[in-house]
Amino acid sequence: MMTFYHVNWCPECLIVREKLEELGLQYESVIVPDMRPFRKQVFEVSGQYYVPVLKDGDKVFSETRDILSYLETTYGRQATPS
């Protein structure tokens, strides 16, 4: 299952959350502290303190456009059938 690290007030996080919902994907939602230095979980996963961060298996994405592109090409209309 995917893990989505975010804060509630972040517009970029909202965009990713809406894409996850639009695609009907199950994910674990991890709300992290507002202050970056306290986002230890985010740092452990991605090596930096910014959100949003999406972890899917061994893949980790920390840029909104990269997350959206990954979700669309892997799970969306552009996904290659297995």
User: pLDDT tens across 28-78, in order?
Assistant: 999 999 999 999 999 999 999 999 999 999 999 999 999 999 999 999 976
Domain that holds residue 61: 22-30+39-82
Strands 2-6 and 59-61: unpaired
The verdict on residue 6 lying in a domain is: no
The verdict on residue 76 lying in a domain is: yes
Helix (H, G, I), strand (E, B) or coil at 60: strand
The verdict on residue 17 lying in a domain is: no
The verdict on residue 15 lying in a domain is: no
The verdict on residue 73 lying in a domain is: yes
What is the model's pLDDT at position 77? 77
Classify residue 47 as exposed, middle or buried by CB count within 10 Å of its CB (0-12, 13-18, 19+): exposed
Strands 2-6 and 27-31: parallel
Number of domains observed in the structure of the chain: 1
Q: Span 5-14, mean pLDDT?
A: 97
